[in-house]
Structure 1
Amino acid sequence: MHESIERLIQAALTEDIGSGDLTSQYFVPGDRRATGFIVARESGVLSGGEVALEVFRRVDPSIDATLLVEDGSRISEGAFLIKIEGPARSVLTAERTALNFLQRMSGVASATWQFVEAVKSTNTGILDTRKTIPGWRHLDKLAVTHGGGVNHRMGLYDRVMVKDNHLVAEGRLEELQEAITKLKDEHPDVEVELEADNLEQVEAFLGLEGVDHLLLDNMSLADMRQAVELRGDKAAPLLEASGGVNLDTVAGIAATGVDFISVGAITHSVKALDLALDFVKRE
């Protein structure tokens, strides 16, 4: 588990528990044990199961939490996802934090899966973006992969993305090529992506060396098809479409032949999946 996820789990527990779970301390007998299941209240894709198990373990290592369905699995309403057995106080203390992680991540995975399903007849991949909850990026991007999506760059450090705001001197291709060449010399493993707003820029950027990706920003379907034709059968640059992407438009965008479609909504506007912890009677 990435260290940023471990820190986030600890921060979430500290935020919720504070100086102690007073409700459980005063209203739940200390010797009472509980058995329960985290259950799906709606269909979707499970993500965050391993994170939820870690939450229960950190609250009380004596809790026996078992993942019944693997992360990335399609789940139906009523499905039992995690079985939990242990001291009732501890289970109740961990419940909300575990569900918060599980519901959010499953919401991201489920939303991603919907977009992946919409383009499954094409060779186009669904990409995430950096539009994530601050501090949650590793979790959001992990959930995207569970939904069948592909991770874009993690941050500003692992891929160069030159957008219109960076191109303060439009049309100065010589300076742009010099910057790309210098970057590749000093950081040979870092990929370069350029944003193109029109076909003229696409054509110009295709003439540069060292460009790994072109971002086709808010282009019409006709222009995207033309950009694919301009690129031809060359392996690079890969073409990524963005802007105006939703479940009604994504199939049409994929049909233009672009390699990837980036969708900010799968992380910045996602609805949590409805999950709950149900206790069962113990004999």
Structure 2
Amino acid sequence: MATTHKTRMLIIGSGPAGLTAAIYGARAGMEPIVVQGLQPGGQLTITTDVENYPGFRDVIQGPWLMQEMQAQAEHVGTRMLWDTITEVQFDGWPFRAIGDSGDVYEGDVLVIATGAQARWLGVPGEQEMSGKGVSACATCDGFFYRGKKVVVIGGGNTAVEEALYLTNHASEVVLIHRRDSLRAEKILQDRLFAHPKVSVLWNKAVERFAGETGLQTVELVDTVTGEKSQVATDGAFVAIGHAPATDLFKGKLELDASGYIVVEAGTPRTAIPGVFACGDVMDHTYRQAVTAAGTGCMAALDAERFLAERDFEAAKG
């Protein structure tokens, strides 16, 4: 039998944004429910070494950090439920979400923290080498390649920005692009081409990431001639963009051209009063665990204020 779960604050997603919102919401007495989704804990559960989350002098493990966040959220009164939301209804209060299990979740406010996923190439060796030389986040992992040679795959703003960032750490950065021109903004291209540490391999597609215990070479094919080649490297960064997990909200909330939820500038507020978005689902610029946690805090604070104002108006009659 399907069950209806009711709460003052319903949170969809259980990464740093969702769990931080839950911690603040629980401490405000809203008894939040977190529906964890397909990847409980978010992207950090597939991230090994984390060195840039404040509060830890030594390298910590992503899965451990998310376990601790969840334990903290539960300790202060959050209910964690294992389900995947397949439908949302915003046409009245309370907001409703229907799970794959058939259960119904009702919340006086809704916090969306469904995150985003890096787009991958889908070539052999990519997933096997993830965390062993292959990454999708230069800001997260660039520090581990100080004085080493790295490659960046892609041709848009993301790829060029990652390549330029990596010049702060790596001794050599090779940008690999499957076409003969970049899609990135001209000012970024000018900076890239002027940098002495950067070189570009044009018309090259990645066929395979290879190595013994870790990445050693990237195998390429020329997209014009079909000629095979390879480049030796210590690390490879796949930078072909991110895909926000917003399919559930198409036609229900305003999304930008890249699929991210549109919020009021500087806030987690969506166009629907009482519906808030936080973390990577609305942030196409920073995409860091610490910024996700920050916007989760903002969402919870705004949600608490929203409910307080609504309750006050209702009490006045």
- Same fold by TM (over 0.5)? no
Higher helix share: 1
Question: TM-score with structure 1 length normalisation?
Answer: 0.30
TM-score, normalised to structure 2, is 0.28
Larger radius of gyration: 1
Higher relative contact order (CA 8 A, sep 6+): 1
